Structure 1
């Protein structure tokens, strides 16, 4: 449980502004990142060449592995995937103040706002539930808890909703259910938050995270499957209150030429999509010296998803990746739970989407592990996002 006795974020120190010649000029602008991992939340500043931890929030036993910031009220919501707590903070420049904890379903691993940020949906991987919160007031209140039902995938004991992603229309949330080998469609219209459609996948798919691509009047959904290491491209058609998912392609998250050294342990992770074209997927536990980020390119003319290249994550277990918030999305941030580097910034070409092999900046895992967890395996960052 997050406790009020937290370490206040420190003041930001001076930062260098020079950037390598290979970088876009925007990369040299000071950026603030939120990092979540076992027992802690970190505030990290990035100046274009290096990372600096400017504050810590340490709570033993907690697992703030996903967060959402409501910028209008400077409210930060953080899951604790080890418990049933939804923890709330006020973020004010360099200060992060704990305000409260409320109880929802156990094992929530993802949070998503509705269009106007008055509601928030939590995907509870640990208990097979979907939480719907009213976050219009200072204290979140549970509006609804939806139990995920249906047949289970091979060797699965319960359903595992892993993400809740708002679609481009702002009406539906798409929820991959790893335990049920299915995609759930949650309709938010008129505050009903009901599952109105399920899309069955192949047995053992293990869907984890997805992302949307819009092209003209067409919508596509890209889904990374953890258990099978497959990426599936769907076309999504809207007809009134209905959504139809048409599968276009299924292929390895590693591409045809870069199979994992250990296919048994390999587990696809997170999806990040830039400019409705470049799709990045983190590959974890590959058995290689470091894990990888695969880059696929969506071709609007042929409606195909094509493997382009792979880049090292410069660590092990890249649980989360996210793009910088500048117009060109010129950086990809990587949160590695293990290996040498816990936090990495890779430069991204805005034209080709290609990731540079050499990081713009990297911070060692040892500097990003919570006190007392230095000997624990995979205790590094699980979440990264620029704010």
Structure 2
């Protein structure tokens, strides 16, 4: 049962003056959005600003609130791309601060290294089968520090999706000593030691998934039994649970697969369905499903899992409405009371209430469309949405 008491107590008060979000569209614009709550379960979401400068196909956003910065990564398929840093004013309005040329086709990016863990930036390039690193700050003359590329002897179990390695994200582990790179095409999660001073990455042994899983994104959680890693598998529409261990001061991070569950509850994903993102909040894990249309035409789902605090195992709870088609990105706010969901094809941002005590997702609070609408299965429409907090 959905309850509003907790939201009223902790969520509405913290957002009485409104909240800010940043969203990007594959056609080029980057938006600032204003959320104003009327009560616990209703409000308005509107565009407060719009800018450009993230190349031709903005695909991913990373917020560094401490420096009032938003980094945007261009998925341009035309042989080159852009890595852009925007500065945000008090109203989260964005101004292009600096940009650097990239190799293009970047689908993800994050900060790492240095004394502040923000001295370098890494990008994952889907079709070139590469990851690339750059030193900050960015400029027009920025050059890659390191580029790593992979090949495969033969396609994977899903040749249409796994014809070659496809790194899909790159982020630090909790110790901030290792870089984790899920590879959708090769069915492995690649791991690298980070030289914090130079930004150089040194390969560690890879962690294997099940054939045909197609790992895309991931998150770590500390449990009573130790560190766990959760892998969102796009191709199989599943979540893999790994025990994560460190092999001493000079060793590597190791991931051992222990459990795999479908993101669609009691059935496996179809070839026409694709899991997209996962997020962890308050002992619960959420995953988005594209093209399952569980809640009607162009109404895809978010899966809810309970994380066992003792051993980290997952238990499926339910599917809830994403209020959009092809929910590519989504993110829980810091208070744990609201979820922003980006419908890729419907090109909308939906805000859904969340009960931080029970983990249940509640009613639609607000929604805004950011045209143009995407096409079925196309890399167009809405690409990313993040809370600016």
TM-score by length of 2: 0.84
User: Which position in structure 1 is the counterpart of 2:40?
Assistant: none
Q: State how 1:262-301 maps to structure 2 within 5 Å.
A: 263-275=270-282, 277-288=283-294, 289=296, 290-301=299-310
2:103 & 2:205 partners in 1: Cα distance?
A: 22
Which of 4, 9, 24 does residue 11 from structure 2 map onto? 24
Q: Measure the CA separation in 2 of the matches of 1:221 and 1:20.
A: 29
Deviation at 1:138, TM superposition (A): 6.1
Verify the 8 A CA contact 1:37 1:380 in the aligned structure 2: yes
| Aligned positions of 1:251-270 closer than 5 A | 251-256=261-266, 263-270=270-277
> Which residue of the partner structure matches residue 135 of structure 1?
136
Distance in 2 (alpha carbons) for counterparts of 1:311 and 1:375: 22
| Greater mean deviation of Cα atoms: 30-39 or 56-65 | 56-65
Counterpart-to-counterpart distance in 2, 1:69 and 1:306: 31
Q: Deviations over 1:153-186 (max 9, x none)?
A: 2313321110112111111121110011110002
Which residue number in structure 2 is paired with residue 242 of structure 1? Answer: 252
Tell me what 1:8 maps to.
Answer: none
Distance, in Å, in 1 between the alignment partners of 2:284 and 2:30 is 29
RMSD value over aligned CA atoms? 2.5
1:3-52 per-residue CA deviation (whole Å, 9 max, x = no partner) reads xxxxxxxxxxxxxxxx9959833343411100011221110011121101
Q: Does 2:44 correspond to 1:50?
A: yes
Aligned mate of 2:367, from 362, 366, 380? 362
Report how far residue 103 of structure 1 moved. Answer: 2.1
- Structure 1 residue 338, shift from structure 2 partner: 2.5
Query: What is the CA-CA distance between 1:141 and the residue it aligns to?
Result: 4.3
**What is the DSSP-based 3-state SS (H/G/I as helix, E as strand, rest coil) of the residue aligned with 1:24?**
helix
| Residue of structure 2 in register with 1:193 after alignment | 201
2:166 maps to which of 160, 171, 175: 160
Q: CA deviation at 1:58?
A: 4.4
The question of 1:381 aligning with 2:382 is answered: yes
Residue in structure 2 matched with residue 107 of structure 1 by the alignment: 105
Unpaired stretches in structure 1, ≥5 consecutive residues: 1-18
Counterparts in 2 of 1:242 and 1:335: CA distance versus 1, 3 Å: same
Q: Which has the higher contact order (CA 8 A, sep 6+)?
A: 2
Counterpart CA distance in 2 for 1:118 and 1:181 is 30
Q: Is the contact made by 1:43 and 1:54 (CA closer than 8 Å) also made in structure 2?
A: yes
Partner residue, 2:315: 306
- Map of 1:173 onto structure 2: 179
| CA 1:242–1:150: 2 relative to 1, 3 Å | farther
Alpha-carbon contact 1:345-1:359 (below 8 Å) kept: yes
Give the 3 Å change call, closer, same or farther, for CA 27–360 of structure 1 in structure 2: farther
From 57, 82, 85, the counterpart of 1:85: 82
Q: Quick one: structure 1 residues 347 and 238, their matched pair in 2 at CA, closer, same or farther if it must change by over 3 Å? A: same
For residue 254 of structure 1, report the CA deviation from its aligned partner.
1.1
Aligned length: 355
Tell me by how many angstroms 1:150 deviates.
Answer: 4.5
CA contact (8 A) 1:184 1:199 kept: yes
Do the aligned residues in 1 keep the contact of 2:373 with 2:381 (CA within 8 Å)?
no
CA gap of 1:171–1:330, structure 2 versus 1, over 3 A, is same
Secondary structure in 2 matching 1:163: coil
Cα deviation per residue 1:112-137 (whole Å; 9 max; x = unaligned)?
Answer: 11152001111111311101111146
